[in-house]
Amino acid sequence: MKKLLAMAISTGALAALAVDVATVGVTEVTTTNQNTIVAVPFEKLGGGDIDVHDIVKTTGLPVGTQLFVFNGSSYTAWTIDQGTPNKWTGLTTASKVDGVDILPPQSTEYNLAAGSAIWLVLPTAPAANTPQKFIVYGAYKTGVTSKVVKGANLVANPLQGKAEFVYDATDGDTIVVPNDFAAPKYYYYGTINENKCWYSKGEGRFAKPVVGAPVLEIGRGFWYVSKNADDGEMSWKSWSSEE
C-alpha cells in the first residue's frame, strides 16, 4: 500500500529536497525466501531514475544481504557490509553465479528506471513464521511499465497491491518464479486446446497443464525469458480474487 514517507525519513529531509510528501511512495515487501526479485516502482526524490543505494532501505536487513542488478548479460552487486551496516557497499571483486559474471560497480552511482527490478539475496532464508520485511521507497509514479528485451529479464509488480502483468508474449516465452524450498515455479507461453495462453505443468507425471499466469504479491517478481527479438513493454493491472 502507498503510505507517506514520514515513517521512513524525516519531513525535514524532504523539505530540503523540495519534495511534496504526498508524492512519496513507500512499499513494505515481505518475503520468506532467501532469493527475492523486488520491484523498483519509484523514481528518485525530485524526479528521474533512482540510485541503487536509495531504493531499498538497509534498516532491518541483516549484514551480508546482497543486491544484484542484471543488465542482460552480467550482474552488478552491492552488499550490507559489517563495517558499514547502514548503507549498500559495492562488491569489490568479480565472481560468478550460475555461470553469469558478477562485476564490481564502475562508479559510485548506478541508476535504476521505475519499472525495473532487482534481485535481493539474504544470508539465509527466513523462518516461515518470521518473514523478512524491508522498505522500498522513492518518488511515487503512476503508470509504471517494465521493459522486456530478448533473453532474461528481471521484472516485478510495481503496484501497491496484488497485480497481474499484461504483455504480448511470444511462443516459448518462460517465467521463472524463485522458490527456496522447492524447484522454481515455471510458466510457459504456448498453445493449449488450440488457444494461446500461459500455463504451468500439473503436479505428477500425467497431470494436465494448468492454464494461467502468476499473480504477484506487492513488490515481488520473477525472471522473464523472452524469445522475441524486438523489445517489448509489460504493463500491470490490479488483481482481484473476484475476477
Q: Give 199-231 pLDDT, tens digit per residue.
A: 998 777 778 899 999 999 999 999 999 999 999
Q: What number is the average pLDDT over the span 51-59? A: 95
SS (H, E, C) the chain: CCCCHHHCCCHHHHHHCCCCHHHEEEEEEEECCCEEEEECCCECCCCCCEEHHHHECCCCCCCCCEEEEECCCCEEEEECCCCCCCCCEECCCCEEECCEEEECCCCCCCEECCCCEEEEECCCCCCCCCCEEEEEEEECCCCCCEEECCEEEEEECCCCCCEEEECCCCCCCEEEECCCCCCCEEEEEEEECCEEEEEECCCCCCCCCEECCCCECCCEEEEEEECCCCCEEEEEEECCCCC
Query: In this predicted structure, what is the pLDDT of residue 241?
Result: 64
Query: Per mean pLDDT, which range of 10-14, 35-39, 103-107, 187-191 is the poorest?
Result: 10-14
Q: Which residue has the higher pLDDT, 150 or 204?
A: 150
Q: Is the pLDDT of residue 11 over 60?
A: no
Query: In this predicted structure, what is the pLDDT of residue 18?
Result: 44
Query: In this predicted structure, what is the pLDDT of residue 120?
Result: 96
pLDDT band at 109 (very low <50, low <70, confident <90, very high): confident
pLDDT band at 153 (very low <50, low <70, confident <90, very high): very high
Query: In this predicted structure, what is the pLDDT of residue 156?
Result: 97
Query: In this predicted structure, what is the pLDDT of residue 149?
Result: 96
Side-by-side strand order, sheet with 163-166: 146-148, 232-238, 163-166
pLDDT band at 7 (very low <50, low <70, confident <90, very high): very low
Query: In this predicted structure, what is the pLDDT of residue 5?
Result: 29
Residue 120: CB atoms within 10 A of its CB come to 22
